[in-house]
Chain A
Amino acid sequence: MASDPMIQLKDVRFAYEQGEDDTPQAAEFAIDGVSFNIEKGSFVAIVGSNGSGKSTLAKHMNALLLPTSGEVLVDDLNTVTESQTQPWEIRKRVGMVFQNPDNQLVSSVVEDDVAFGPENIGIEPSEIRRRVDESLQMVGMYEHRKKGPHLLSGGQKQRIAIAGVIAMDPECVVFDEPTAMLDPKGRREIMSIIRKLHSQGRTVVLITHFMEEAAEADRIIIMEHGKVHADGTPAQIFSRDDLGVLALPFAVKMAKRLRQSGIDVPADIVTDEQLADFLCSKEQG
């Protein structure tokens, strides 16, 4: 497969505070020598405990943070040089959704909020209208377009925040723990929007603590102490025995248990759906 990277990280290091002489000690690096590419159209989950550097890494993907050393290329644009001249070129390509929707909504009317991004990059008014309607429909919030965001639930607010990002028509969307503050219903809604975005061909990066969510990605990257600890398909990642405190998804735990009792569950089964399919097809065999 020809490689066509959306985002390239090359030996990225980042320190939040620099010492007097501008030379941070190794221990102060929140990101400490990270290199990998994210291919266009892929769905990558980044997991790791609190403080492992995953959010810091995410903020490098649309130039909200710039590397202390090393470089980040977004669609071949270097974030350091571009952010001095045309930061919007980066942010048009990579949109970002954060954990707390309350911190992302700026307007008192839903549709104005969604229009905020496209207005700022000088899109034609008729095109803005089209994009706002389309993105609100996509997240299932079109009927609420005239409401005030403060009247909506957390999950609904998060959907508005996502619509605001989609209205910018980015090739890639980075989600930083988008479901952490939501109830199960809100979580399911957000995950179904993420699946939809991926099926449209957009690149999706999902930072999460929920391994069930990560299991849906094509690839999982585990961060630990600012470094990449593991990188592979969900099946490869979940078969490792050095995952430490990361909780395995239910289906992976159950598959392991069933193998001990002689039920030969293939290693690439990582979701409930896949496991149920396998067990039920086995019946006819």
Chain B
Amino acid sequence: MQIRIEDLSKIYSPGLPYETKALDHVSFTVEAGEFIGIIGHTGSGKTTLVQSIAGLLEPSDGRIVSVHADGTETVISQKGKESALVRRKVGIVFQYPEYQLFEETVMKDVCFGPKNQGLSLEEQKERARAALDLVGIDADDKGEVSPFELSGGQKRRVAIAGVLAMRPEVLILDEPTAGLDPKGHDDILEMIRRIRQEMDMSIILVSHNMDDVAEYADRVLVMNHGKMVFLGTPKEVYCEHEEALRAIGLDIPSCPSFLWQLKNRGMDVDDNKLEFEETAQEIIRAVKSRWQ
């Protein structure tokens, strides 16, 4: 399923003194199976954008359309329209999702979404097992355990399983690695990669970690003051718009950032590199050519 965001705007407290334009005419398309990374400051509109896509906020203007494999289109979110449909197709994992666990057992917690979708108990359990399996939690071992007895990283994975069990076609994750240690961080990203492959979902990842976005995303979307300022492959965004990103105050991934430092000190290097090995090769070339 393709999702088309058309001229989406969101104004908080319209007509009041603190009227804020949180989203300002944003348009883009999430292709079926695509992995999009969204970056931007706190307050740039990232969260408003993903919550609108997930149907949790009513747009002030514009609409969201889903395009099915056969080419037919459905408007899933628009001002004044109930958005239950969008919530069925788009799943969202909030920041620190482990705080939303509430059931007595892991199994019940993961079943909660499918239960609300009106599925039979059998189907709920089948979905929950499959979702737990995807996030790397053994349902036989942990299914009957209280979610509050799990480690921080495990709780987070159970919370993500709860969203996966609803079988969304687009999965949005808002800062899914915040607060985790380096291993927990890598585990979650590998898990997202696996989910995308096995369930053929589109993924939208909101992240402050530029290295993660550079490594995992097909395209990067940059938000600033409610506007979409750039959308392109990691290389296009980070390498061609480096100066502009710095001006906004955003980080650059480690490799181009380091090459840029060298360039600023007068070394003749090409800073259009994103991968570690190609960056190393470029530094070696530059340093050795100066030595001779």
Q: Which residues of A contact B (CB under 8 A)?
A: 48-51, 99, 153-155, 177, 180-181, 183-186, 209, 211, 245-247, 250-251, 253-254, 257-258, 261, 263, 272-273, 275-276, 279-280, 282-283, 285
Contacts and interface: CB of A to CB of B under 8 A. Distances in A.
Which 6 A-B residue pairings sit nearest by Cβ, starting from the closest?
A: A245-B183, A250-B254, A247-B182, A184-B251, A283-B290, A280-B265
A245 B182 contact: yes
Nearest to B152: A50
**Overall SS of chain B's interface:** helix
A211 B211 CA distance: 14
Interface in B217-276: 249-251, 254-255, 257-258, 261-262, 265-267, 276
A257 B267 contact: no
Contact of B287 (A49, A183, A263): A263
A257 B276 contact: yes
A181 B43 contact: no
B116 interface: no
Interface string B173-199: 000001111111110000000000000
Given A155-B42, A280-B266, A50 B290 contact: no
Contact of A209 (B181, B262, B279): B181
28 contacts: A48-B181, A49-B182, A49-B183, A50-B151, A50-B152, A50-B153, A153-B42, A155-B42, A177-B179, A181-B179, A184-B250, A184-B251, A185-B41, A185-B249, A186-B42, A209-B180, A209-B182, A211-B182, A245-B181, A253-B276, A258-B280, A258-B284, A272-B261, A276-B262, A279-B262, A280-B267, A282-B291, A283-B266
Given A185-B249, A245-B182, A250-B254, A51 B262 contact: no
A153 B290 CA distance: 46
A279 B267 contact: yes
A19 B250 CA distance: 50
A275 B267 CA distance: 13
A49 to B, nearest CB: 4
Contact of A279 (B179, B182, B255, B283): B283
A211 to B, nearest CB: 8
A76 to B, nearest CB: 34
Interface of B: 41-43, 151-153, 178-186, 208, 210, 249-251, 254-255, 257-258, 261-262, 265-267, 276-277, 279-280, 283-284, 287-288, 290-291
A183 B41 contact: yes
Interface centre among A184, A247, A272, A275 (most CB of B within 10 A): A184
A48 B183 CA distance: 10
A209 B153 CA distance: 14
A155 B181 CA distance: 20
Contact of A261 (B210, B267, B284): B284
A51 B180 CA distance: 11
Nearest to B260: A276
